[in-house]
A and B are shown apart, each in its own frame.
Chain A
Amino acid sequence: MLKILLDRTEPSADVVKQQQNFTQILAACNYQKQVMNPWRYWYFPLWILAVLMIC
């Protein structure tokens, strides 16, 4: 369903700038990169397995 809003006030450029900044975006991007990395979940089990195999 389409919603139509008339004469809607927009936040000022300063307010928009205060709400979001590049550092937050970069941090979110780095976090997503980490989470999406499949090795993240295999890293420790593989280490443990390697140590066990060496032993």
Chain B
Amino acid sequence: MALQLSAHQQSFLLEEERKLVERAKENPRYFAPLYERYHDAIFRYIYRRVDEEEQAYDITSSVFVKALQGIHKYEYRGLPFSAWLFRIAKSELYQSFRDQKAQRTVSIDKVVLKQVIEDWTEDYRQEDVDRLLSKLRLLKEVQLQLIEMRFFEKRSFKEIGDITGLSENNAKVKTFRAVLKLKQFFHQIE
């Protein structure tokens, strides 16, 4: 998944972004560069979590409408603007799950599954894939989110922290615990 967020963590880009946000606060039309920069990343974040493409487009548009409506409340706290957008996206996503407009979905590449299983077992078998997928369902939503972002979307801990509102270290610790939990479930004898 191509998420071009690491560059935005650089301070000069954060400063440039801050200026763009200030302009957008004065006139919503100036929100366009921010929209162009993050629309694709937000869409893909949502797309991977809902089962239908149309719903992903709908939720993405409501994220940007909410962002435009709330831009005057946005305060720069040294985090990339995308962190704020991802939080709106997360809240819109869970609202659509609650309203039963969309179904919670996890999109996984088989290659990633294979890597995980090969790390945990001696050889790769189809039954292990099925077992791992069924054990994913046993995780708490928070744990699933962390595993999803770290392993299925290959995000950095810094990025995970920005999105979830945790510090980088806390994101690392919580992800490690979530993986440990999944590993326990995986090795549990039924």
Spell out A's residues near B (CB within 8 Å): 1-8, 10-11, 13, 16-17, 19-20, 22, 24-26, 28-29, 32-33
Contact = CB atoms under 8 A, between A and B. Distances in A.
Nearest to B36: A22
B8 to A, nearest CB: 17
Contacts of A5: 51, 105-108
B106 A16 contact: no
Nearest to A30: B28
A3 B28 contact: no
A34 to B, nearest CB: 12
12 contacts: A1-B103, A2-B105, A3-B104, A5-B105, A6-B113, A10-B44, A10-B48, A25-B65, A26-B31, A28-B61, A29-B28, A33-B69
A24 B2 CA distance: 25
A2 B65 contact: no
B157 to A, nearest CB: 24
B48 to A, nearest CB: 8
B26 interface: no
A26 B106 contact: no
B181 to A, nearest CB: 16
The B interface is mostly helix, strand or loop, or mixed, namely helix
Nearest to B139: A2
Interface in B48-89: 48, 51, 53, 57, 60-61, 64-65, 68-69
Contacts of B39: 16-17, 20
B110 A6 contact: yes
Interface in B1-25: 1-2
A25 B104 contact: no
Interface string B103-143: 11111111001000000000000000000010011000000
Contact of A22 (B32, B53, B103, B113): B32
A8 B31 contact: no
